[in-house]
Amino acid sequence: MSVVDQEINRVSLVKDNLDFQQLTDLVAKPSETKTPKWWFIALAVSLSGILLLKSMLAYLFWEGVGIWGLNNPVGWGYAIVNFVFWVGIGHAGTLISAILFLFRQDWRTGINRFAEAMTIFAVICALIFPGVHIGRQWLAYWLFPLPNSMAMWPNFRSPLLWDVFAVSTYFTVSLLFWYVGLIPDLATFRDRAKTALKSKIYGIFALGWRGANRHWQHYEKAYLLLAALATPLVLSVHSIVSFDFAVSQLPGWHTTIFPPYFVAGAVFSGFAMVVTLMVLTRELFGMKQVMTLHHLECMNKIILVTGMMVGYAYGMEFFMAWYSVYEYESFAFINRATGPYAWAYWIMVSCNVISPQLFWFKKCRTSIPIMFVVSIFVNIGMWFERFVITVTSLHRDFLPSSWDYYSPTWVDVATFVGSFGLFFTLFLLFLKFLPIVAIAEVKMILPQANPHHGDNHEH
Amino acid sequence: MSINLKNKDVNLKSEVFGVLAEFESPSALIKAAEKVRDQGYQYFDVFSPFPIHGMDDAMGLKPSKLPWIVFLGGAFGLSFGFGLQTWVSTTAYKLVISGKPLFSYQAFIPVTFELMVLFSAFATVFGMFALNRLPQHYHPLFTVDSFSKVTSHGFFLMIESHSDNFECSEVQRELKSYGAHNIEIVKDCL
């Protein structure tokens, strides 16, 4: 052991000194053993959610956006709130897999697969909302620069168009990143498959991977490059999402703090969602040896940091509203905290700023029930953050005669609930059929994987 | 050229694709790879469930060319993105938005950036597939039963038969002396 290792006394990232084979067995177990009953129940519930979502979308396509709660000053409601909420959740995966990879944070290996999957499913849910809010579905292709018989092209100076590019690029790159990471593990599943069909299906997607070092060489380079590409991408996506608001002239939206504030909020909500799901999965699928309490504690520290950043942004917005001496800006913020939507504002502050403060204490950071509850609070709070930003800025605009109060209709609520059905269906299928831990990557951080392991313990 | 012809010859004469040897651990494998490299066999590879730190040097591999492919992908995405927006905004579909100039290059930055990242990512993934000759669903190694543990806990080294001075029995003897505990001859069934 080197002096550095002795001094630092690193926490072991995999419990019980598992060897390579035991680790493979552990990760492969959920897909090879009998499916537990709770999985089928959860899948049935999630599928009902999808059915609800589909029905609501069908109703929407038939009737038009009039069935939503939008009114005259509030032209943006649940659709954008849900979109930003889901995209935000989708930031944790790439942050864990790309940024923590570049920073050589070895603890990411236990949870990155899981978080990346969550990212992809969250972005799928997010993409539904801008896709359906346009009212005339048959013209959705106008969003893309496709040559058409009208010789018409999109307006490249619009932040809404930037958003189309940002989110679809993010989805594509996250999917590629996830798939590249999966290839060696799919090959593991292929080689362990008991039935010909399983071996064939995993085999097709494993692309004939055989663990050759001449392959690993390019593979590792590709992984590093993808991480390096995904890092600025993940920061750019939520920045561009925030441009949807910040580039407008509306008090409450027109602020330069939005891009970093949105990115911090996205990481905050994404990590909270990962903690929520991980607490359940490690329990239900017996992954405690790989997804350790140490992992959760690291996650909670990041939740605390990003929660503080978000809290700072809330405060700074008020400071700027006062410091700008711009009466409309001041009004927008005073109205936000004390107006008709004060209830939403204070839910947001309590959930996002106050509840994570518990994580200052190691007892709370390492307590499963507390972190589970806090992570749920953060999810709720971050949904309300987007609601507050969108609705409170719109509902009282420059002309008091047009002021109004926005409330969602049952269709709005049911569509949102249905999107959780889609998310959890995809997630449950992932848990059952794919390696939920990056097997090859976790093996790399085992002490036995070091080529000098067992050589000489004295140097 | 002559080497190539000779190799073809060898391939035709025997169906032996190579000699596969299994090793105990990553450290045993890396030492064996160093020796095989020093013996001068050009066509050999090691197989492991995860990339082993230092193996590229032990095998004497040159650095991957992938970054150049990615650079080309990114350069294409960048110029395509900026070019498309410029052409659309100044030539194909002139829209005056809040009195701004048609060529508002500042507003083109986000889409240019996104397309650069998108094409770099495509170049990374598909470039890696191309360099690795993937997908490759058939490989003689897949006919070896014991090889299936390579994706879990097996560490293997194979010297391919079209290497110079490949002599099947000699290679087997050498690999044994490097500490291999299970040696098999891999046949190409195609």
Q: Are A134 and B79 in contact (CB under 8 A)?
A: no
Confirm if A15 and A289 have CB atoms less than 8 A apart.
Answer: yes
- DSSP string for residues in A242-285: HHHHHTS--TTT--TTHHHHHHHHHHHHHHHHHHHHHHHHHHHT
DSSP state of A107: G
- How far is residue A231's CA from residue A93's CA, in Å, rounded to a whole number? 11
Residue of A241, A251, A126, A112 lying closest to A185 (CA atoms) = A112
Q: Please report the pLDDT score of residue A140 as a whole number.
A: 86
- Cα pseudo-dihedral A268, A274, A279, A281, rounded to 10: 170
The rounded distance, in Å, linking the Cα atoms of A385 and A11 is 36
What integer pLDDT is reported at residue B190 of this predicted model? 64
What number of H helices and E strands is found in chain B? 6, 4
Q: Does A180 touch chain B (CB under 8 A)?
A: yes
Q: Which amino acid is at B98?
A: S
- Mean pLDDT for each consecutive 10-residue tract of chain B (190 residues)? 44 72 91 91 92 91 95 97 95 90 93 96 96 91 90 92 86 90 84
Distance, CA of A82 to CA of A419 (rounded, Å)? 9
Q: In a mutagenesis test of the B interface, which of A210, A233, A241, A448 is the best target, namely the one with the most B β-carbons within 10 Å?
A: A210
For helices A196-206 and A159-192, give the axis angle rounded to 10 degrees. Answer: 130
- Residue A186 touches partner B, C-beta closer than 8 Å: no
Residue whose C-alpha is closest to residue A81's, from A393, A349, A307: A393
**b/e per residue, B118-148, with b = 16+ CB within 10 A?**
bbbbbbbbebbbebbebeeeebbbbebeebb
Contact A173 B117 (CB under 8 A): yes
- Chain A residues with CB under 8 Å of B124 CB are 176, 222, 225-226, 229
d(CA B122, CA A108): 24
Distance CA B45, CA B26 (A): 14
pLDDT in tens, A224-280: 999 999 999 999 999 999 999 999 989 999 989 999 999 999 999 999 999 999 999
Reported ipTM: the value is 0.91
User: A21-60, pLDDT tens digit by residue?
Assistant: 888 988 888 888 888 999 999 999 999 999 999 999 999 9
Q: What are the two backbone dihedrals, phi and then psi, of residue B36, each rounded to the nearest 5 degrees? A: -65, -40
* Distances A358 to A299, A355, A362, A364, A372 between C-alpha atoms, Å: 14, 6, 9, 6, 12
Please choose, from the candidates A177, A176, A180, A186, the residue with its C-alpha nearest in 3D space to the C-alpha of residue A215.
A180
Q: A162–B111: do the CB atoms touch at under 8 Å?
A: yes
The confidence score (pLDDT) of residue B162 equals 86
Structure tokens at B78: 């960048």
Residues of chain A below pLDDT 50: 1, 457-459
Nearest to A188 among B67, B124, B152 (CB): B152
Nearest CA in chain A to B156: A212
Rg (CA), chain B: 25
Short-list A406, A374, A415, A321, CA closest to A73: A406
State the burial class of residue A218 (Cβ atoms within 10 Å of its Cβ: 0-12, 13-18, 19+): buried
- In this structure, the number of other CB atoms found within 10 A of the CB of residue B42 comes to 13
CB A244 within 8 A of CB A255: no
Q: Give me the pLDDT at residue B159, please.
A: 92
Cβ pair A211:B25 closer than 8 A: no
CB A114 within 8 A of CB A106: no
| Contacts across the A-B interface (CB distance below 8 Å) | 208
Kindly report the number of other CB atoms within 10 A of residue A284's CB atom: 14
Which residue, among A32, A146, A148, A153, would best test binding to B if mutated, counting the most B CBs under 10 Å from its CB?
A153
Q: Where are the beta strands (DSSP E) in chain B?
A: 16-23, 44-47, 155-160, 182-187
Rg of the Cα trace of chain A? 24
As a whole number of angstroms, the longest Cα–Cα distance in chain B is 81
Is residue A182 within 8 angstroms of chain B, CB to CB? no
Element (H, E) at A444: helix A439-444
CA A359/CA B86 separation, integer angstroms: 50
Which of A165, A171, A287, A279 has its CA nearest to residue A230? A171
